[in-house]
Structure 1
Amino acid sequence: MIFANRAEAGRALADRLAAELGEPADPLILALPRGGLPVAGPVARRLGGELDIVVARKIGAPGRPEFGLGAIAEDGPPVYDPGNLLWAGATEDGLAGVLAAEREELRRRIHRYRGDRPAPAPAGRTVIVVDDGLATGVTAHAALLWVRGRDPARLILAVPVCSPEARDAMAAVADTVVYLNAPDPFYAVGRWYEDFEQLTDADVENFIMC
């Protein structure tokens, strides 16, 4: 299953969510920007939910920033993947500099994307966290833990495509994981999209204002 783009993936994911959840009352759809927003838009429209964002940042391996060793979300603590730390020969203490830099970038993005608006309030609501895909799942893990700490009534993770390992790991964090495809071997999220254009801060702002 290869998606034309994120919007197509979002529509297909919205159909799956509607079939599995019915019409949840007052759902809160939280996209992981940047790539999760074009997927989350169709989900929010189909379910009649409020669309907002939960901002997270990957903590990459030194010299290999694309390889996620951990992540942070909003004002939450860092979450690390023990297996990836071991594989990379890294330690949490040794990543203090990387963590500080990512924390600063996280603050910048929160300020740019949200401005003076308050962070979303998940308490007592069905919350659906949406991203365009999961490779290791570490960024979604940090976002889910942040949401979980704010007492949602139900916490759902929804993605068009994910690795089987990430799907299984996130099942321990979310109440439900909804996905369309979990290929094995997985390779990378972008492998399952014909158009996987990298989005900019301006793209995020345009989605939020629409």
Structure 2
Amino acid sequence: MRNLVRALLAELGEDPMRDGLTHTPERVERSLKFLTSGYESDVKTVLNGALFDVDYSEMVIVKDIDFYSLCEHHLLPFFGKCHVAYVPRGKVIGLSKIPRLVEVFSRRLQVQERLTNQIADTIRVALKPLGVAVVLEATHLCMSMRGVQKQNSTAVTSAMLGVLRDDARTRMEFLELIRNRGSSTSWSTATDQGVSCVTEEI
């Protein structure tokens, strides 16, 4: 990989051997391996031993999970907040595993829509809950730094499964709970910002 980075620097018109760039190939290699370390993580290993039988049927929410990922189209970062909820059907997952799950999928080359679905589908398969909801709010540097250059735009995606898709009251409870957190995103006008809502059968 280091030789490829040196070749890229040369293609950009730089001298890869000048003082400021001498160690750049090694740094880029370490950085990319860290930012894509999710490929080396096994979801089953992450969840192993973290599923528990519990007599609890109310909604479980973990919100404001920070995530960072790389856009697969431009290799530029996108980052923001992830909110996850599920309604148990006799099983719950250790709360610390949900942010870990988000990290496993975000530390890859991604698009926001796929990342949203992967988190929701993994929880659905592992827990077989009554419903799952995942909402991602993200800033994409490929939009801020290039292309349309809209620095203040936010992309919002959601995956609603089971009762969190079919039951309006349950869905609104989730949205109200993540809305009341001082977010810069106005959920009352979210549709004006181009929300992508992904719904699937559970």
TM-score normalised by the chain length of structure 2: 0.29
Relative contact order, higher structure (CA 8 A, sep 6+): 1
Report the structure number with the largest CA radius of gyration.
2
TM-score normalised by the chain length of structure 1: 0.28
